Amino acid sequence: MEESSSSDTLTEEPPAEEAEEAAAESVEPEESAPDEAPAEEEPVEEEPAEEAAAPAPAGETLVQAEGLAKHYGPIRAVDGISFNVRRGEVLGFLGPNGAGKTTAMRLITGFLEPDAGRVEVAGHDLACESLQARQKIGYLPENAPAYGEMTVTGFLEFIAEARAIDDIPGAIARVVARTGLTKVQHQTIETLSKGFKRRVGLAQALIHDPEVLILDEPTDGLDPNQKALVQELLSDLAAEKCIIVSTHILDEVERICNRAMIISQGRILVDSTPQDLIALAPNHNVIRLTLHEDDPTLAARIEAEPWCARVETYSASTIDVHPEGGENHLMKLLDLVKELPIQDVRLQEGRLEDLFRKITEGVSA
Amino acid sequence: MSRFTTGRFTGLRAIFKREFKGYFASPLGYIFIVIFLVASGWLTLSRDFGRFLELRQASLDSFFTYIPWLFVVLVPAVAMRLWAEERKTGTVELLFTLPVTLEASYLGKFLAGWCFLIFSLLLSAPLALQVARLGDPDWGVIFTGYLGCALLAASYLSIGMLFSAITKNQVVAFILGTTATVAFLIVGLPQSLETIGKRLGGYAEQLFGALSVSDHFDTLTRGLLELGTLTFFIVFTLGWLVCGMVALDRTKAS
């Protein structure tokens, strides 16, 4: 068992500033843009993401899924998805409830057998080398199930033994310290709070220092401090592993993921970086301009500019300027209105939530 | 870093250890042992059932006679939680994403449950020692009697595990397990075989007699260690175990 690169540990009540700093650091986007990221808002819905749309490689491919499909009767839980995930990538699975995220994760971890397609984990085909592939994966299932009657240490011992780890006490000591379980390690799991139970789930997923980490909603139901701690831990692990996280929390994707996939009805709708997704959001780079005085002709004058897609008027003195292609044209607008009595100018950043709703509602409809 | 090797039974040891320790980590195991010892002791000594003291024989016949009836309730109670609980709490997903095979998981749980039942049986040893103090028992018969109890426990446990694998509800698993074990027990009773013989003919009577758990169990408690009897229990148990594994493979993710 190798020592992880960071010695940071989860503690019960960390200073909020530290957590924020760690989270801010983790936001560092990959500089590489997706090769074929949709340039406009509308086509995003039409183009299921291809492998080529993924960000540039960060390391060797550790998870390779090809044409994965799983049907439950007439329901297509996963409908022929393909993607690769490389070392150093933190991939966020986004999607509404029932989109197929959990089923996709269960296919990748080998819990379910696909009706079609194949999965390769760290060079091992799940169909023929299932045990070797599973040995490379650390998995936190949804709701972090664990044997409630066992103590934290007893449970981790069982996992370590099932994974045939040589130095079981050493592995447990490391993972308990890293996930902040030291104080409760002799308690039975059923007596722990939800936050601690989730950490126990994380600890069992990390105990064998896996190359591939698959976490199904790791921060679901945690309080903001606990969420920040888990996000910090994942950020620490990001460089050395391939991490796949499913979540409903879009803010979390911006914080910890360097790649995001939106899944709906079992299909991948978008595969890009969170930053590029934000640029595709409906209100990205919209400028709200408010004047001290009414100017009934202002909207028409701005709308005539080639960089302006449209103008929404709220009142005679307040307008929203939607730029062409979602680009930032603040300076051009300021140049145009510099003679006017400006009261306020605000440049809006797109919200992932808006894009998510737009894409997934479109599919549902 | 790791002594990980792959094989059909990879992970069996870890599963067995966890399960066996689990019986003593909760009140369930202790409650089972107390109920078993009290019930078996009462049935053995009761004037209405075993009549151990009245018979004045240096044997454990009074004890062995009621074990099959005690086990139809107690063994499905042990078996009912083995898979139903895993599926209900979601730990089955954790288990089957560890590098352990389905066979190892299934057999690990079975062997742990069986060892626990054998351990409970051995706690009745003071009764045998008391018999030895009072008379001169045939230790061979006592040995084959205990062997019969252990094999009976294995066969009942394998039946109960199948029903635990096909439902998430422990109560349903218990009822189905008890019903099935009772069916395999009463089909071999002389009254049942006589009825079957009259209605379906002599071949049917022989067939049901051969499939009867009670008939083979009686053979062992009489002190007869026959290859056919041992083969019956082994094949019977393995058959249910294989059916259970197939069922679990289909239902584990449902």
Q: Say yes or no: A224 and A318 in one domain.
A: no
Residues of A in contact with B17 (CB under 8 A): 158, 161
Per the listing, tokens 């899944």 go with A263
Choose the mutation target among B3, B93, B101 for the interface with A, i.e. most A CBs under 10 Å.
Answer: B93
Q: What is the pLDDT of residues A79-95, one digit of tens each?
A: 999 999 999 999 999 88
Last residue of one domain, picked from the residues A263, A280, A297: A280
The domain tally of chain A equals: 2
Provide, rounded to the nearest whole percent, the portion of chain B with pLDDT above 70: 98
Looking at the partner chain, which of B15, B22, B91 has a beta carbon nearest the beta carbon of A146? B91
Residues of A in contact with B13 (CB under 8 A): 161
For residue A329, is it within any domain? yes
DSSP result, A10-78: --SS--HHHHHHHHHHHT---SPPPTT--SSSTHHHH----GGGSPPP-SSEEEEEEEEEEEETTEEEE
A64-78, A222-236, B113-127, range with the lowest pLDDT: A222-236
Q: Say yes or no: A292 and A248 in one domain.
A: no
**Main-chain dihedrals φ then ψ at residue B95, nearest 5 degrees:** -60, -45
Confidence at A11, pLDDT banded by 50, 70, 90? very low
Segment (H or E) for B80? helix B67-89
For residue B122, is it within any domain? yes
Which pLDDT score is estimated for B194? Answer: 86
Distance from CA of B30 to the nearest CA of A (A): 15
Q: What is the pLDDT of residues B128-172, one digit of tens each?
A: 898 888 888 889 999 999 999 999 999 999 999 999 999 999 999
Distance from CA of A132 to the nearest CA of B (A): 7
Which pLDDT score is estimated for A172? Answer: 97
**Which residues span the domain enclosing A327?**
287-348
Q: What is the mean pLDDT of chain A?
A: 81
Q: A135 and B97 in contact by Cβ < 8 A?
A: no
Q: Measured between CB atoms, does A71 come within 8 Å of chain B?
A: no
Q: What is the mean pLDDT of chain B?
A: 90
Q: Say yes or no: A239 and A109 in one domain.
A: yes
Q: Is B233 left (phi over 0), alpha (psi -120 to 50) or beta?
A: alpha
Distance from CA of A116 to the nearest CA of B (A): 17
Provide, rounded to the nearest whole percent, the portion of chain A with pLDDT above 90: 43
Q: B11 and A162 in contact by Cβ < 8 A?
A: yes
Asked whether the predicted pLDDT for residue A48 surpasses 50, the reply is no
> For the residues A252-278, what does the mean pLDDT come to?
88
Q: Say yes or no: A214 and A332 in one domain.
A: no
Asked whether the predicted pLDDT for residue A365 surpasses 50, the reply is no
CATH (domain of A267): 3.40.50.300
Q: Say yes or no: A235 and A344 in one domain.
A: no
Q: Measured between CB atoms, does B94 come within 8 Å of chain A?
A: yes
Q: Treating both helix axes as pointing N-terminal to C-terminal, what angle do A194-206 and A168-178 enclose, rounded to 10 degrees?
A: 140
Q: Say yes or no: A120 and A246 in one domain.
A: yes
User: For the CA atoms of B143, B145, B151, B154, what is the dihedral angle to 10 degrees?
Assistant: -110
**Main-chain dihedrals φ then ψ at residue A116, nearest 5 degrees:** -150, 155
Q: Say yes or no: A291 and A215 in one domain.
A: no
Which pLDDT score is estimated for A358? Answer: 79
Residues of A in contact with B85 (CB under 8 A): none
> For the residues A169-192, what does the mean pLDDT come to?
94
Give the E-state strand segments of chain A in sequence order. 61-72, 75-86, 90-94, 116-121, 124-125, 137-140, 212-216, 242-247, 259-264, 267-272, 287-291, 308-313, 318-323, 342-347
Residues of A in contact with B29 (CB under 8 A): none
Give the integer Cα–Cα distance in Å for A271 and A94: 10
The domain tally of chain B equals: 1
Q: Say yes or no: A126 and A245 in one domain.
A: yes
> For the residues B86-111, what does the mean pLDDT come to?
95
Per the listing, tokens 């995930």 go with A85
Residues of B in contact with A208 (CB under 8 A): 2
Q: Say yes or no: A307 and A323 in one domain.
A: yes
Q: B14 and A142 in contact by Cβ < 8 A?
A: no
For residue B225, is it within any domain? yes
For residue B137, is it within any domain? yes
For residue B2, is it within any domain? no
**Which residues span the domain enclosing B116?**
12-251
Report the Cα–Cα distance between both ends of chain A, in Å, rounded.
Answer: 49
For residue B5, is it within any domain? no
Q: Say yes or no: A88 and A214 in one domain.
A: yes
Q: Is B171 exposed, middle or buried (0-12, 13-18, 19+ CB in 10 A)?
A: exposed
Q: Give Rg (Cα) of chain B.
A: 19
Q: A166 and B2 in contact by Cβ < 8 A?
A: yes
A56-60, A281-285, B119-123, B128-132, range with the lowest pLDDT: A56-60
Closest to B94 measured CA to CA, from A200, A188, A84:
A200
Q: A131 and B10 in contact by Cβ < 8 A?
A: yes
* HSE-up (13 A, CA, CB side) for residue B134: 14
For residue A270, is it within any domain? yes
For residue B197, is it within any domain? yes
Q: A135 and B1 in contact by Cβ < 8 A?
A: no
